Amino acid sequence: MTVEKNINTGTKEDIFPVSTVADSQDQTLLAIQNLRVWFELRKFGFGHAGYVRAVDGVNFRLRRGEAIGIVGESGCGKSSLMRTILGLHLPTKGDVIFNGTKVSEMGTKGLRWYRSQIGYVQQDPYGALPPFMPIQRILEEPLVIHGIRDKDEREKRIHKVFEEVKMTPVEDFLPKYPHMLSGGQQQRVVIARAMILEPKIIVADEPVSMLDASVRVEILRLLRGLQESHDLSVIYITHDLSTVRYFSERIFVMYAGNLVEKASVRQILDNPLHPYTHALMAATSDPDANNALTFKEVPPGEPPSLVTPPSGCRFHPRCSQFMEGVCEVEEPPDFEPEPGHQVACYLYQ
């Protein structure tokens, strides 16, 4: 039975069958398989001029109730990866698989449902909230779009989610406009809007980087509490290892469109392997001894062009451990020097 046929005739459960046996055994909720997201460059608006390889062969699995952090510099492709997971970009190749179903095969109706299963917390709360809408309407809109026609039901959901994000007394905040709230309160509204459709996954894009230091911890605690109470899976995207380690169970390090190291938080902090991970840790803003800064130098140079990335290992022009005749020849595959710790670097073959 094709997905399209199900959409036309079935209920939500028919459209999106429960996970395969394998998925339910390993608790995979979202699988990213060999994902490529390339954007075509056009010369003066016409004529092919190459591709921006924003995401270029990414693989990972997100389990139910798990929080992962994706860490990398600006321009490494993490925003394109995030937008593809949100269903806003189509994969050029490979798949995003939610609960056993390929997102690319869901069709229009299925895609709308899929988007309701993923809440999005933006980096800039003020920019994320429409300035001329009262908070009540901002929260009501996704409910209306997704077919909650009963006004009482909408009110009930809004009150419940506002209590969960600690915006009480609720009646005091609902008539206000975004500019009447502090940055921390605005971010709580953004989180409430992300939670209002009772999603299974939250994608949080640098959710505290634009907030005052004093409210960052509160917002991280709030997100962590919601994750636990709702058994949410969370994808936390950031450039800063100092916050991701308090939030995630596993960390994936992204460089020039690829994940170059995947491991538990403990493994990354105690035993970072990839030279780029060392560099990120050296650049972190939190000088905690647990960082184990064994790497003394931040590598020179800038992140590479995603249009013409370096051959072989994309990090090789900046790597102090570069091995001529090896590193620039072929892209390194993932090696697994210890269980659950994968690294794309020839030092560990």
CA 115 to chain centre: 14
Binding to ligand SF4 by residue 103, rule CB under 6 A?
no
- Where would I find the H helices in the chain? 3-9, 12-15, 21-26, 78-85, 107-116, 125-128, 135-145, 151-164, 170-173, 183-195, 213-230, 241-247, 265-270, 275-282
Q: Which string of b and e fits 43-81 if b means at least 16 CB within 10 Å?
A: eeeeeeeebbbbbbebbbbbbbbbbbbbbbbeebbbbbb
By the 10 Å C-beta count (0-12 exposed, 13-18 middle, 19+ buried), 159 is classed as middle
> What single letter denotes the amino acid at residue 115?
R
Binding to ligand SF4 by residue 207, rule CB under 6 A?
no
CB-CB contact of 314 with 258 (8 Å): yes
By the 10 Å C-beta count (0-12 exposed, 13-18 middle, 19+ buried), 201 is classed as buried
Nearer to ligand SF4, 37 or 345 (CB): 345
Binding to ligand SF4 by residue 346, rule CB under 6 A?
yes
State the nearest-atom distance from the C-beta of 179 to ligand SF4, in Å: 46
Nearest to 67 by CA among 212, 165, 202: 202
Nearer to ligand SF4, 290 or 321 (CB): 321
Nearer to ligand SF4, 50 or 309 (CB): 309
State the nearest-atom distance from the C-beta of 349 to ligand SF4, in Å: 9
CA 71, CA 238: separation in Å to the nearest integer?
5
CA 286, CA 277: separation in Å to the nearest integer?
15
State the nearest-atom distance from the C-beta of 319 to ligand SF4, in Å: 3
Nearer to ligand SF4, 20 or 321 (CB): 321
Strands across the sheet with 101-102, in order? 48-63, 28-42, 93-98, 101-102
Name residues contacting ligand SF4, limited to 33-62 (CB under 6 A): none
CA 191, CA 68: separation in Å to the nearest integer?
18
State the nearest-atom distance from the C-beta of 335 to ligand SF4, in Å: 10
State the nearest-atom distance from the C-beta of 318 to ligand SF4, in Å: 8
Name residues contacting ligand SF4, limited to 244-283 (CB under 6 A): 274-275
Nearer to ligand SF4, 293 or 326 (CB): 326
CA 144 to chain centre: 26
> What single letter denotes the amino acid at residue 283?
A
State the nearest-atom distance from the C-beta of 270 to ligand SF4, in Å: 19
Nearer to ligand SF4, 290 or 349 (CB): 349
Nearer to ligand SF4, 107 or 310 (CB): 310
Site size for ligand SF4 (CB under 6 A): 14
State the nearest-atom distance from the C-beta of 264 to ligand SF4, in Å: 21
State the nearest-atom distance from the C-beta of 345 to ligand SF4, in Å: 3
Name residues contacting ligand SF4, limited to 286-345 (CB under 6 A): 313, 315-316, 319, 321-323, 327, 332, 345
Q: Residue 278 has which token pair?
A: 């060392």
Q: Residue 92 has which token pair?
A: 């050029």
Nearer to ligand SF4, 174 or 256 (CB): 256
State the nearest-atom distance from the C-beta of 255 to ligand SF4, in Å: 9
Nearer to ligand SF4, 170 or 329 (CB): 329
Residues engaged in binding ligand SF4 (CB under 6 A) = 274-275, 313, 315-316, 319, 321-323, 327, 332, 345-347
